[in-house]
């Protein structure tokens, strides 16, 4: 019975979180980035100040961890082209040229932080490899435009 209660509570937290904080995030990659940013990488604990008053810290952690894993899986289920479209749309909301963002992200590999803790190495590598391919493509487009001019 305890696990059923925990499931119901997680469901309420995820619905509340999605309704109030994820609804305005336009792409799956942007949602993944947002949820990943709620995890303290030193402790592995997820926190969200807007959920804190209504739910316990352990319940918030468990629900956001589940949400992070589900969003990660959803991104990996997309084709490379769909992932690229998501990333390009995400870049539209950042006040810098796409090739500059892509160059920085390739250098820093900040997208590695989007992978949920405990993800198998082969899925982590697949995700990172996909993003490297997409980011290199965006950078290469800039190079082609520069040489054509």
Q: Give the span between the Cα atoms of 32 and 80, in whole angstroms.
A: 16
Give the pair of three-digit tokens for residue 139: 């950078």
Q: Picking from 17-21, 86-90, 96-100, which range would have the lowest pLDDT averaged per residue?
A: 17-21
Residue 64 near residue 39 (C-beta atoms within 8 A): yes
Domain that holds residue 21: 2-148
Number of residues that make up the chain: 149
pLDDT at 114 over 90: yes
Confidence of residue 9 (pLDDT cuts 50, 70, 90): confident
Band of residue 120 on the pLDDT scale cut at 50, 70, 90: very high
pLDDT at residue 146 is higher than 60: no
Specify the pTM: 0.88
| pLDDT at position 2 | 64
Encode 91-112: b = buried (16+ Cβ within 10 Å), e = exposed: beeeeeebbebbbebbeeeebe
**pLDDT for residue 64 is more than 90:** yes
Instruction: Look at the chain and report how many structural domains it folds into.
Output: 1
Q: Lowest mean pLDDT: which of 7-11, 42-46, 124-128?
A: 7-11
Mean pLDDT of 44-66: 92
């Amino acid at each position: 019975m305890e696990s059923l209660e925990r499931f119901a509570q997680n469901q309420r937290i995820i619905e509340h979180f999605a309704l109030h904080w994820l609804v305005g995030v336009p792409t799956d990659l942007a949602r993944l980035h947002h949820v990943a940013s709620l995890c303290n990488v030193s402790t592995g604990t997820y926190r969200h100040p807007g959920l804190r008053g209504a739910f316990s810290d352990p319940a918030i952690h468990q629900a956001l961890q589940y949400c992070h894993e589900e969003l990660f899986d959803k991104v990996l289920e997309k084709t490379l082209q769909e992932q690229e479209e998501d990333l390009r749309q995400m870049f539209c909301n950042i006040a810098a040229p796409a090739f500059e963002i892509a160059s920085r992200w390739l250098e820093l590999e900040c997208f590695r932080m989007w992978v949920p803790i405990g993800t198998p190495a082969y899925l982590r590598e697949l995700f990172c490899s996909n993003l490297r391919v997409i980011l290199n493509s965006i950078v290469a487009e800039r190079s082609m435009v520069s040489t054509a001019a």
